[in-house]
Structure 1
Amino acid sequence: MTIINDEALSRCIRDAVRAELKEHFNLGRNPPPENERLLSKQELATELGVSLVTLTDWMKKGLPFLRLHKRVYFKKSQVLNIMHQNITNQIKEDKR
């Protein structure tokens, strides 16, 4: 019977999560189109599987958005890039 220590288990989980996120978001494989369609708050919330309240909180914390005629829109590529950067930074902090 093999017993895995906490550090090895934590590293294994981080590596698996990183690989899944990279595959899920397909980062770095295809550049976003020049004329990328803008998503409304509702559309982005649905795409990410979060509530409008959560999305608003993320906006207050720096999630990039555009305001056009009192409406809010997002470029999905920008949002995914910021999310990827935040996850990468969190993983680096966890390793310390």
Structure 2
Amino acid sequence: MEIINEQTLCQCIRDALRAELQEHFRTGGNSSQEQQERLLSKQEISAELGVSLVTLTDWMKKGLPFLRLHRRVYFKKSEVLRIMQQDITD
């Protein structure tokens, strides 16, 4: 087992931070993680759409796309809007 001294650890942290900052500025701050869409809760998406939670739950039963993570339900706003636009144009 190898033990790292404080100076070596500090240098590793500096190198990692420098590499991350260079990548951040090289990509203009648009890392793949930042490009991922934030998931909205049932309360957030219902407020965005101006509908009640009951209506939202009914839409979910009718096919509104959602993700279930553990016991919670989340939505991608772009997917919800895409589905709603398809229903309007169909």
Q: Alpha-carbon deviations, 1:27-82, whole Å to 9, x = none?
A: xxxxxx74000000000000000000000000000000000011000000000000
Q: SS at 2:36's partner residue? A: coil
Cα distance in 2, alignment partners of residues 63 and 34 from structure 1: 23
Q: TM-score, normalised by structure 2?
A: 0.61
Percent identical pairs in the alignment equals: 79
Cα distance in 2, alignment partners of residues 55 and 88 from structure 1: 20
Runs of 4+ in structure 1 off by over 4 angstroms are: none
Which structure has the higher relative contact order (CA within 8 Å, separation 6+)?
1
1:47-66 matches, within 5 Å, as 47-66=48-67
RMSD of aligned residue pairs (Cα, Å)? 1.1
Cα distance in 1, alignment partners of residues 87 and 37 from structure 2: 22
- Aligned residues between the structures: 57
Structure 2 runs not aligned, ≥5 long? 1-33
User: What's 1:70 paired with?
Assistant: 71
The reply on whether 1:88 has 2:85 as its aligned counterpart is no
Q: SS at 1:46's partner residue? A: helix
The structure that has the greater radius of gyration is 2
Q: SS at 1:86's partner residue? A: helix
Structure 1 runs not aligned, ≥5 long? 1-32, 90-96
